A and B are shown apart, each in its own frame.
Chain A
């Protein structure tokens, strides 16, 4: 394949450095490339004015173009192109003049018996995606194409067309715009594959290109898997289809790698083929071998004209790019001091709550505490004035309330959609304990638990938790755990 434009300097994919997390399985290295199809969030289809809508009654979002009726002609949806350009921009691709081709094959749910797709001159080429841990995965291309209809097969052999009694076809999905994002074979572990897909999903959501729901099929993932001994050429690859969740992706790759290694170890040869992941038995099964693969007879789609986005359009798309997940994680990490690929930052950015954490900090709150509050207490939506949460972080960091008390107050604030943290603390009797009072309670607890104290002073740190718990109980939860620990330690060394 050749592209008609060379990538511009400075925007060229180069493979990232080995990160040391390449895992050898029984002495084999795993090589994975992913092909991810995403349905674009347009109002209408790629080539017609029918609605692009999931879940409607079958065959209601159709028209002569969707059904491929004789004489109907495609007209390219400008918004679909714009969303595809957003994807290309977010994946650091070169956006280039491109054309559409026909991919010819017969299938009942493909009404024209060809799919309009992009072949050797796709819209987006030579990009990359950085995993949260830093590894760079190359993106070979991200091209536009139309979806097929959806067949449901009844009777016969378990949901397949072959041997079924009859089939029903819903053409609502036919002509829905897709972008196919093809990675380079840079993925080395099932975990990296999962990270790639979840990061890609986060990017697609961030740029508003797709709702990217694997369970509804608006994001679909095929994996090309091969194994080889280090230092030897890559092995023959098999393409795994029908992977319906990120979790299944990891399992399917693990299974397929194991299968190929077992074959090689048994002296057999891995054949290039397309395999079907079966969720029920957690195996891959042969779908078709290379020998019976279709000859798609690609040729230039004569019903469409070349697509050459202007430099102004490309720039406008770039200018309108929102902050992408990786940049948002970096920003949140910098504000809170938490690691960018740590759980709290990952979760809060994924939920889109990072702006709120920054709002709390801007309202004078402690960003690190706010991050934890939001991660723990705000499951979905954030509907609390940032100033209220800022006030609570202030109460906690000043020592006026303990972490445990703060959690209780936060729960009330969230439940009520806001509230004055200090007033809630007062109402609940959450007053900071006088250090003299705390010491008195600690002394009482030591006296009442002489045996545990002896063990503790004798160097048994495991009794520490028991003693702290006893103090907390005696203080009716008002004591600050950190202060109690410090007091116990100072008394041991005294």
Chain B
């Protein structure tokens, strides 16, 4: 990276050594926000004053001879579905209007303790439901690489913030591809860790059994650094993995010699030729770096999308039931309590959120549970079993991240199914609870970035990062 845009690793090292001022680093990012945010709309809220105060405090710490931590002075943007104490957390929904959480998400506390500087809360598809960030109640985010196109979603704001240089790094959440797909469309690195790797405490739930927080960065090493900081057990999240995890920064110092890289021979069709071409290039690069390419089958892969669109909406219908106008957020008064619920939720939730609440409520209903939700759970098990078998033959798998490069605004908004297909390649990983990451691997149509997805089995992050780092090196 150039001195103009140092990586998070470079910023932290510079600030800790005193060769860089956190305040100066921050100002360069705030300048870029001032220049382009009006056009890109990555943020729901920019916290310039708070960030300046935090950066000054970091510089004071260094001046006093203290170490602010491994992310010293690194400007970070947070998806606006992570709770920040006293700072509005909207999920890009009208229903949370005016709500300020009285507590921080665990990741927010860990970032603060590591010296990171929060520059703002980023835009998303309402409650993380969408693949283009067009479902935000506050208007869409634009792809900084081509503002006539979407940044992907649902973490489109976080992807755009990094791609536009508004923040050095950012956090998103990934329920069915909401980190990896926008990372691919914006040309940055995006990681969905193993379920339970990062605490969900303080992440506003969409689908609890699928949601994971993960980083957006410009380099694989920055993602490794960020995950080393935010990962690890949290007693506040019962689904958090109890063991401590090996350092990913250390893992990527190892190459891929002897690594078995799997090609899924029965992968569902649908990737555009430009995307398929970059995937082939990725296989070639890893082979050249000493890996072995092996064929594997994941027969249930193709059923992932269907199972996902029963499981995720079912959980969402329950998770979003609390937005009833009683205690916080929007309330639309009506004749009685039930009418108030209806009026509040009709006014507060956007169309896609309402669609998924209806879907999920139906799938869980008496008489339909077995045919829909119950069946989807069985498919989920099948997918996990198929992956487990594949991982006896391969250490990592490569697939496209998204079937296409970034698409123009409005091109899929009238057809929910077409939009859902954006996540064909990312969803099965969430259902299996496995890690996956998108690495930018050159460009496709119209010079737009293409992402290659690296997948691994449960807690396969070190191996996955080694493969991702090798892909990154092959482009250098």
Interface residues, chain A, CB within 8 Å of chain B?
A: 64, 67-76, 102, 104, 106, 108, 111-114, 161-162, 169, 295, 297-299, 302-305
CA of A161 to CA of B337, assembled, Å: 8
On whether the beta carbons of B373 and A71 are closer than 8 Å, the reply is: no
Task: List B contacts of A169 (CB < 8 A).
Answer: 326
Task: List B contacts of A102 (CB < 8 A).
Answer: 318
Task: List B contacts of A75 (CB < 8 A).
Answer: 235-238
Flag the segment in B8-16, B22-30, B143-151, B201-209 that touches A: B201-209
3 smallest CB-CB distances across A and B, nearest first, come from A113-B321, A302-B209, A297-B364
A303 CB contact (under 8 Å) in B102, B208, B314, B338: B208
Residues of chain B in range 65-99 having any CB-CB distance to chain A below 8 Å:
81-83, 89, 91, 96, 99
CA of A162 to CA of B339, assembled, Å: 12
A295 CB contact (under 8 Å) in B91, B208, B328, B365: B365
Give a binary string over B230-273; 1 marks a CB under 8 Å from any A CB, 0 the rest: 00000111110000000000000000000000000000000000
B341 CB contact (under 8 Å) in A74, A106, A161, A297: A106
Q: What are 21 inter-chain pairs, A to B, with CB distance below 8 A?
A: A64-B103, A67-B327, A69-B102, A70-B89, A70-B99, A70-B101, A70-B322, A108-B324, A108-B337, A111-B327, A112-B322, A113-B318, A113-B322, A114-B321, A161-B337, A297-B364, A297-B366, A299-B314, A299-B369, A299-B373, A302-B208
Interface residues, chain B, CB within 8 Å of chain A?
A: 81-83, 89, 91, 96, 99, 101-103, 105, 200-205, 207-209, 235-239, 314-315, 317-318, 321-322, 324, 326-328, 336-338, 341, 361, 364-366, 369, 373
Task: List B contacts of A72 (CB < 8 A).
Answer: 103, 201-202
A104 CB contact (under 8 Å) in B235, B318, B373: B318
CA of A73 to CA of B238, assembled, Å: 8
Task: List A contacts of B96 (CB < 8 A).
Answer: 70
CA of A72 to CA of B317, assembled, Å: 17
CA of A67 to CA of B329, assembled, Å: 13
> Closest approach, in angstroms, between the C-beta of B154 and any C-beta of chain A?
16
Interface centre among B200, B203, B336, B364 (most CB of A within 10 A): B364
Task: List B contacts of A108 (CB < 8 A).
Answer: 324, 326, 337
On whether the beta carbons of A297 and B205 are closer than 8 Å, the reply is: no
Task: List A contacts of B341 (CB < 8 A).
Answer: 106
The chain A residue sitting closest to B207, CB to CB, is: A302
On whether the beta carbons of A71 and B322 are closer than 8 Å, the reply is: no
Interface centre among B91, B236, B365 (most CB of A within 10 A): B236
Interface centre among A72, A162, A169, A305 (most CB of B within 10 A): A72
> Closest approach, in angstroms, between the C-beta of B366 and any C-beta of chain A?
5
On whether the beta carbons of A71 and B327 are closer than 8 Å, the reply is: no
CA of A305 to CA of B235, assembled, Å: 13
> Closest approach, in angstroms, between the C-beta of B330 and any C-beta of chain A?
13
On whether the beta carbons of B238 and A74 are closer than 8 Å, the reply is: yes
On whether the beta carbons of B83 and A71 are closer than 8 Å, the reply is: yes
> Closest approach, in angstroms, between the C-beta of B121 and any C-beta of chain A?
13
CA of A97 to CA of B188, assembled, Å: 45
On whether the beta carbons of A70 and B204 are closer than 8 Å, the reply is: yes
Task: List A contacts of B235 (CB < 8 A).
Answer: 75
The chain A residue sitting closest to B341, CB to CB, is: A106
CA of A64 to CA of B209, assembled, Å: 20
On whether the beta carbons of A305 and B239 are closer than 8 Å, the reply is: yes
Task: List A contacts of B337 (CB < 8 A).
Answer: 108, 161
> Closest approach, in angstroms, between the C-beta of B113 and any C-beta of chain A?
19
CA of A68 to CA of B338, assembled, Å: 19
The chain B residue sitting closest to A69, CB to CB, is: B101
On whether the beta carbons of B208 and A71 are closer than 8 Å, the reply is: no
> Closest approach, in angstroms, between the C-beta of A97 and any C-beta of chain B?
16
On whether the beta carbons of B209 and A106 are closer than 8 Å, the reply is: no
On whether the beta carbons of A70 and B201 are closer than 8 Å, the reply is: no
On whether the beta carbons of B101 and A302 are closer than 8 Å, the reply is: no
Task: List B contacts of A302 (CB < 8 A).
Answer: 207-209, 239, 315
Interface centre among A71, A104, A108, A113 (most CB of B within 10 A): A71
The chain A residue sitting closest to B234, CB to CB, is: A73
CA of A197 to CA of B32, assembled, Å: 71
On whether the beta carbons of A73 and B237 are closer than 8 Å, the reply is: yes
CA of A304 to CA of B239, assembled, Å: 6
On whether the beta carbons of B209 and A70 are closer than 8 Å, the reply is: no
On whether the beta carbons of A71 and B101 are closer than 8 Å, the reply is: yes
On whether the beta carbons of B336 and A162 are closer than 8 Å, the reply is: yes
Task: List A contacts of B239 (CB < 8 A).
Answer: 302-305
B366 CB contact (under 8 Å) in A111, A162, A295: A295
> Closest approach, in angstroms, between the C-beta of A223 and any C-beta of chain B?
25
Task: List B contacts of A76 (CB < 8 A).
Answer: 238
The chain B residue sitting closest to A296, CB to CB, is: B366
Task: List B contacts of A111 (CB < 8 A).
Answer: 322, 326-327
Task: List B contacts of A299 (CB < 8 A).
Answer: 314-315, 318, 364, 369, 373
On whether the beta carbons of B238 and A106 are closer than 8 Å, the reply is: no
Task: List A contacts of B105 (CB < 8 A).
Answer: 71
Task: List A contacts of B81 (CB < 8 A).
Answer: 71
CA of A81 to CA of B221, assembled, Å: 44
Task: List A contacts of B202 (CB < 8 A).
Answer: 71-72
On whether the beta carbons of B89 and A297 are closer than 8 Å, the reply is: no
Task: List A contacts of B364 (CB < 8 A).
Answer: 104, 297-299
CA of A305 to CA of B195, assembled, Å: 13
Task: List A contacts of B205 (CB < 8 A).
Answer: 70-71, 303
On whether the beta carbons of A71 and B201 are closer than 8 Å, the reply is: yes
On whether the beta carbons of B83 and A106 are closer than 8 Å, the reply is: no
CA of A73 to CA of B209, assembled, Å: 12
CA of A68 to CA of B89, assembled, Å: 15
On whether the beta carbons of A114 and B318 are closer than 8 Å, the reply is: yes
Interface centre among A114, A297, A304 (most CB of B within 10 A): A297
Task: List B contacts of A303 (CB < 8 A).
Answer: 205, 208, 238-239
The chain A residue sitting closest to B374, CB to CB, is: A299
B321 CB contact (under 8 Å) in A112, A295, A304: A112
The chain A residue sitting closest to B196, CB to CB, is: A305
> Closest approach, in angstroms, between the C-beta of A323 and any C-beta of chain B?
36
> Closest approach, in angstroms, between the C-beta of B197 and any C-beta of chain A?
15
CA of A295 to CA of B207, assembled, Å: 21
Task: List B contacts of A73 (CB < 8 A).
Answer: 200-201, 236-238
Q: A64-B102, A75-B238, A161-B337 are in contact. Are A70 and B83 (CB under 8 A)?
A: yes
CA of A302 to CA of B364, assembled, Å: 14
Task: List A contacts of B326 (CB < 8 A).
Answer: 108, 111, 169
CA of A297 to CA of B360, assembled, Å: 10
On whether the beta carbons of B237 and A106 are closer than 8 Å, the reply is: no
On whether the beta carbons of B324 and A113 are closer than 8 Å, the reply is: yes
> Closest approach, in angstroms, between the C-beta of A29 and any C-beta of chain B?
32
CA of A453 to CA of B79, assembled, Å: 104
On whether the beta carbons of A297 and B238 are closer than 8 Å, the reply is: no
CA of A297 to CA of B204, assembled, Å: 21
Task: List A contacts of B101 (CB < 8 A).
Answer: 64, 69-71
Task: List B contacts of A67 (CB < 8 A).
Answer: 327
